[in-house]
Amino acid sequence: MADDQFPGWHGTTIIGVRKGGKVVVAGDGQVSLGQTVIKGTARKVRRISPGGVDVVCGFAGSTADAFTLLERLEKKLEAHNGQLTRASVELAKDWRMDKYLQKLEAMLIVTDGTDLLVITGAGDVLEPEHDVTAIGSGGNYALAAGRALMDSDMSAEDIARRAMSIASDICVYTNGNLTVETIGG
């Protein structure tokens, strides 16, 4: 089947929220192929601990590609004494320049409880301006909702959960089965 005829995999929304000394990463569980939901309980937010450093990662895109990137991030964290920003920049450089890695289709939100970063295959390591970031099919919906809620009295986790609920009401590739990880504070 030609690439333009293949219905494509869709179905991820990941949000990261930093507030009150805590960082929360939440992701939905839906994986879709075209207009069909293949799985509703995928776990796209994970905790890794290379060398005793606690890092929470959320991924959007191809699962196999994301796991390849998570393995590489673990190695970079070990090589750079747990410095998340440095490890992320090194991963982004490799991802941008390595012919094998360039074909990977995924994005990552990563945090160590202090830094909150988005890593892309374009060589970007982005830190959100407003302590909330989101990626994936429903990422823009979750981002808008999260930013609107940041001035409220809600906790980071409550903001992430509410923003994901709003995104799942709008994006057909996002569901309400959440995996939520909190770090910091």
Active-site residue, selected from the candidate residues 12, 13, 133, 174: 12
Edge to edge, the sheet with strand 9-10 lists: 9-10, 31-33, 36-39
The CA distance from 69 to 149, in Å, is 31
Burial of 120 (0-12, 13-18, 19+ CB in 10 A): middle
Enter the tokens of residue 74: 């673990």
Is residue 168 classed as helix, strand or coil in its secondary structure?
A: helix
Annotation marks residue 36 as catalytic: no
Residues with active-site annotation: 12
